[in-house]
Amino acid sequence: MNNKLKIISVILLTFLIVAFAMRSLYKKVEIVEVGKIPIAFNQIKPELSIKHPKTPSPRTNEIPSVVSDKTIYLTFDDGPSYLTTQILDTLKQENVPATFFVIGAHIDEYQDTVKRAYNEGHTVALHSFTHNYKYIYSADQNYFDDLNKIKNKVYNITGNNSRIIRLPGGSSNTVSKKYNQGIVSRITNKLNDNDYYYFDWNVDSGDASGKLTKDQIYHNTISALHQGQNIVLMHDTAVKKSTAEALPAIIKYAKDNGYTFARITKDTRTTHHHINN
């Protein structure tokens, strides 16, 4: 009888010790894991993190932005111009979203057009106010003064605080070397650290060089399209009529060949060139 009681006591005691030990262990594991999670999340760069929740949009006729394994991001630099309306008409007719990297030159004159681009669901992004290489690439402060100027201008027109940027000449430009050694490296680091998202391109319509026909622009563009993310460089200035004219055929080719269209947002994976200065 005494022996049985002893055995039961030992079993009970052992059970209690094991239970207590397991509880302490569980607590420890919990503390370690909880402590780890915020650090891991902090280490993820904003553009690589999980999609941001979609905030309600004030836009009326938003064109769907569809990201697939063959996506085209049409981008138009140096506008607005008298051709922007023609580009917007084509995009509306084809139900295709795009991204406009605007400059200060004609922005006052075409405020309604810029507003229309925004209201129709396109991204109105920041290129430069002056687009003057000598000025913006002479000093870091000049670049950021110029950027703030175009940012405020776009905000006053659209009510949107754009953080999407394309550097004049792209981040691979070498012209900046003439004015300030290393300036593009410093600028892009600051942009990355300050919640700006800069985008270069990986498909060039070629419309920056000389006066191409609409057929040349069409062929340059479609021959460079590929699987994955296609960021297409085009221009929207008064002398680029052939770009606006090539657009319908480019869109038709893309749709016939299974591409979808999207506009650049903070969630878009960035395409960056190699920085040469």
Q: Which of 77, 78, 146, 207 is catalytic?
A: 77
Whether 236 sits among the annotated catalytic residues: the reply is: no
Report the residue number, 72 or 126, with the smaller CB distance to Zn ion: 126
Minimal distance, residue 78 CB to Zn ion, in Å: 5
Q: Are 67 and 263 a contacting pair, CB within 8 Å? A: no
The residue ranges that bind Zn ion (CB under 5 A) are: 77-78, 168
Minimal distance, residue 101 CB to Zn ion, in Å: 7
Residues with Cβ within 8 Å of residue 3, at least 6 apart in sequence: none
Determine the residue with CB nearest Zn ion. Answer: 77
Q: Are 168 and 142 a contacting pair, CB within 8 Å? A: no
Report the residue number, 150 or 157, with the smaller CB distance to Zn ion: 150
Q: Which two tokens stand for residue 177?
A: 């070397």
Report the residue number, 121 or 168, with the smaller CB distance to Zn ion: 168
Which has the closest alpha carbon to 253: 128, 117, 119, 74?
Answer: 74
Which has the closest alpha carbon to 76: 240, 212, 269?
Answer: 240
Whether 77 sits among the annotated catalytic residues: the reply is: yes
Q: Which of 146, 200, 235, 236 is catalytic?
A: 235
Minimal distance, residue 244 CB to Zn ion, in Å: 17
Rounded Cα–Cα distance for residues 80 and 9 (Å) = 87
Would you please indicate which residues are annotated as catalytic (active-site) residues? 77, 235
